[in-house]
Copies of this chain bind each other. A is one copy, B any other.
Amino acid sequence: MGRYDLALIGFGGVNRALAELIAARGDRFAEELGFTLRVVAITDLRAGSLVDTAGIDLAPLLAAEPGELSFAGLPGGSADPRNKWVIREVPADIVVEATFTNPNDGEPALSHVRWALESGKHVCTTNKGPVALAGSELKRLAAEHGVSFEFEGSVLSGTPILRTAQRLLGGLEITGVQGIMNGTSNYILGRLEEGVELPTAVTQAQELGYAEADPTADIEGHDVQLKVMILANEVLGAGLRREDVSCTGISGITPQDAQDAISKGLRWKLVGSAARRPDGTVEARVAPVALPAHHALAGISGPVNAVAFHTDLLGTVTVSGPGAGRTETAYALLSDIIAIHQHHHADDDTAPLHRVLQETHRG
């Protein structure tokens, strides 16, 4: 039975949800997955930092209101997040990076990931920035230090998009990807189809918790742009930079446009796509597209997101699921930890997981 000691960097919704899963299901993970998880450090911009190499008791932290949590004064605690010191010096196996991050330079997450990999720690992150902007550098760094860099949650939360491409589609060529990868804009387009004006639809999306206080990145496509970069680079090996991905959002679509499209059997969707050109290079873009009703992505509505893989041998394979959500994104981190376990420490790549699931369910 292995055990992984985790350093949680950022203690907002996602890492808090991961801590809740560990607190509530730790025994089940041990039985099903063959490892236990222990949190040895937590850092947070507001709460400060907390270190206990014997394992932090999560229950009192999870009982506190998120806004009121402060680590100052606790044994091993500080009002200072001490990110660099915690990431580099605390003896954790896996650094779990889930901070709020600037999409322009990927900071502070990019530095967090670099520090962790350089100190020989595995990293899993839900942050798009470091993956989109420096994915190949970080993968090289991970390889140099013999550790893993996992980031399933950077695209569609825990819905297994990157791992479907990496693990389940070997031996064929993925010629392009196309996705609906932002729940807020997808919800808003649905409201426009019902005749609601954009500002009202945005307010409704905010009330439902889909949209941020500043919904610009959702509406103007910048959030999708980073995800397209990740897909283009990870799945098509494109090596694109942000300026290589043209980006148009949905603010130019009116309720009239949306309703006219429906009357023609079409649905406007904000589509992020990347496809290989005949010369081998990759073209990538984000733009509203009026999809015919029978298109694999046309029926993807509201907070559900989807990515379609176009392939040479299988035609189109589409994976849909939640695009966001605390627990759904925390599950992405758990799936990353499972991947690290299978890659580095399991005797056998996949059979145990499946076998245990079978036995557990049969009982």
Interface residues of A (CB under 8 A from B): 21, 29, 32-33, 157-160, 163-164, 166-172, 234, 236-239, 276, 280, 293-294, 296, 298-299, 301-302, 304, 306, 313-322, 325, 327-328, 330-331, 334-335, 338-339, 342-343, 346, 348-351, 353-354, 357-363
Q: Is the CB of A314 within 8 A of B159?
A: yes
- How far apart sit A306 and B320, CA to CA, in the bound complex (Å)? 10
CA distance A157 to B311 in the complex (A): 14
A301-B294, A349-B342 known; A158+B314 contact, CB < 8 A: yes
Q: Contacts A237-B360, A296-B304, A350-B167: A317 and B319 contacting too (C-beta < 8 A)?
A: yes
Q: Which residues of chain B have C-beta atoms less than 8 A from A276's C-beta?
A: 361
Q: Are B322 and A166 in contact (CB under 8 A)?
A: no
For A319, what are the chain B residues with a Cβ–Cβ distance below 8 Å?
164, 317-319
* Pair B314/A166 contact, Cβ less than 8 Å: no
Name the B residues within 8 Å of A302 (CB-CB).
294
- Distance from A302 Cβ to chain B, minimum over Cβ atoms (Å): 8
A213 → chain B closest CB, angstroms: 25
Question: Which B residues are CB-close (under 8 A) to A342?
Answer: 349-350
CA distance A169 to B33 in the complex (A): 11
Name 28 interchain pairs, CB-CB below 8 A, sorted by A.
A29-B171, A33-B170, A158-B313, A158-B314, A159-B317, A163-B167, A164-B168, A166-B357, A167-B353, A167-B354, A168-B335, A170-B353, A171-B334, A234-B358, A237-B357, A237-B358, A237-B359, A237-B360, A238-B361, A276-B361, A306-B318, A313-B328, A313-B331, A315-B328, A318-B321, A320-B320, A342-B349, A349-B349
